[in-house]
Structure 1
Amino acid sequence: MKSLISVFRIIALLEGISYILLLFIAVPIKYLAHDPQYVKLLGMPHGLLFVGYIVLAILIGKELNWKTKTFALVILASIIPFATFYVDQKILKQQTL
């Protein structure tokens, strides 16, 4: 189970970075410079990481019997910028110790 949590921590980090790049770099370039290429470039990897994050959150949440509040926080973190970093530090890091 520790290896699955380690994979989830990596996916959470990459998902958080891709989300920030998409929201704060690619989308402004798309609308301000009228250049959608960065959204196309970052959109697919972010989407795959997002799906991976959700699937792993469900699997790990069931395995570790997370409380509903913890599970909801982990899932909600996938749509709030920078929140996956918080989840990694406050929830996932404790699970690997």
Structure 2
Amino acid sequence: MLNIFRAASVAEGLSFLVILSVSLGLISRDYVFMLGMTHGVLFLIYMVLSLWVSNSRDWSVVVWLLIFLAAVVPFAFVGVEIFLRREEQKCEALAEPA
């Protein structure tokens, strides 16, 4: 489940950057509706998966709030990716036989 959340995090973060590039004039405003709908769906998937993963991993509310705030800050998905990669490495280390 963590790998699916990682993919959703990166996809949501990149779609957010694409939406912001419309504001800068890098992408035509003709695509705003399509890009907005795509980003909205990815944002909802990100939120549902973040709740699901935080519940299954027993993360605190503070950790979940930081992950939530990362969805609305440009380039913060990179920090989330680093955090999730470390979480995955911890789980793999615990799963390895001693």
TM-score class, shorter-chain normalisation, is: 0.7 to 0.9
TM-score by structure 1 length? Answer: 0.83
Q: Percent same amino acid among aligned pairs?
A: 30
Give 1:26 shift.
1.4
Query: For residues 35 and 19 of structure 2, what CA distance do their matches in structure 1 show?
Result: 6
Aligned pair count reads 89
Instruction: State the partner residue of 2:4.
Output: 7
Task: Point out where structure 2 has 5 or more consecutive residues left out of the alignment.
Answer: 90-98
Contact kept in structure 2, 1:27 and 1:39, CA below 8 Å: no
**Structure 1 residue ranges, 4+ long, deviating more than 3 angstroms after superposition:** none
Task: Point out where structure 1 has 5 or more consecutive residues left out of the alignment.
Answer: none
Q: Is residue 62 of structure 1 aligned with residue 58 of structure 2?
A: no
Name the Cα RMSD after superposition. Answer: 1.8
Instruction: State the partner residue of 2:92.
Output: none
Give 1:88 shift.
1.0
Instruction: State the partner residue of 2:42.
Output: 49
Query: For residues 96 and 5 of structure 1, what CA distance do their matches in structure 2 show?
Result: 7
Instruction: State the partner residue of 1:28.
Output: 24
